[in-house]
A and B are shown apart, each in its own frame.
Chain A
Amino acid sequence: MTITIRFFALLRDRAGVDQMTLSVSKGATVSDATKMIADQCPSLRELLNRIAFALNREYVEADAVLHEGDELALIPPVSGGAR
């Protein structure tokens, strides 16, 4: 099945694209997709273990299961500012 990956901020700059499609097998998780992205885009590898994930615009954990047509966004830490 096919899902869409969206990149933002530093990840977008490193990837050089704002989105890509990825073919994953049935039952694959966010974590599985992330490993595939790391293999396809080595420049992202070091960033991928300190990001959050959103599946169809909701935050999810890495063990969330993917479905056909899903939009998986890789979410770098948000702009913050504790003060």
Chain B
Amino acid sequence: MTDWIAILSTPLDVAAAVEFVRDPAAGGIDVFLGTTRAERSPEGRELLALDYAAYEEMAVQQMHKLAAEARARWPVTKLAILHRVGRVEIAQPSVVIAVSTPHRAQAFECCRYLIDELKKSVTIWKKEVWADGSATWVHPHSA
């Protein structure tokens, strides 16, 4: 098994993802973390956390498909795509992508491709949880 793809309700273990893709055939590892950014709404509310929900069966299938597409484009040695569901506090990671390839340029390109494509189509949604107790789903108007 050369890909580690999972949706998890527990904190993401970045070191474990890096360890997973470390390989004698690889000359570079690129890691992307998406983290919860502190925000203040126009009304002055402070963001406490993001709460992620997924259509898990479909999202996992989509992530495997993305991994296969990445492998068709770059000589990936190993890759890991881990995404949280549930509450992710400020500065904590909601997504971890780790890619190892023989040369570093491939790892950078492949990692960027994976996060960009994941954001476009994978069935995961986030809700902003505010300090005043309110919560709002984030639904871009693209679809």
Contacts and interface: CB of A to CB of B under 8 A. Distances in A.
Interface of A: 6, 8-10, 12-13, 50-52, 54, 57, 59, 73, 75-82
A76 B55 contact: no
Nearest to B127: A9
A80 B120 contact: yes
Nearest to A10: B137
A77 B119 contact: no
A77 B122 CA distance: 10
B125 to A, nearest CB: 4
B58 interface: yes
B143 A6 contact: no
Contacts of B121: 59, 78
A54 B57 CA distance: 12
A77 B34 CA distance: 19
23 contacts: A8-B53, A8-B123, A9-B53, A9-B125, A9-B127, A10-B137, A10-B139, A13-B137, A57-B57, A57-B58, A59-B121, A75-B123, A77-B140, A77-B143, A78-B119, A78-B121, A78-B124, A78-B140, A79-B52, A79-B138, A79-B140, A80-B119, A80-B120
B141 A79 contact: no
Interface string B103-142: 0000000000000000111111111000000000111111
A81 B125 CA distance: 11
A79 B127 CA distance: 9
Contacts of A13: 137
Contacts of A82: 119, 140
Given A9-B137, A9-B139, A79 B126 contact: yes
User: Which one of B119, B137, B141 has the greatest number of beta carbons of chain A within 10 Å?
Assistant: B137
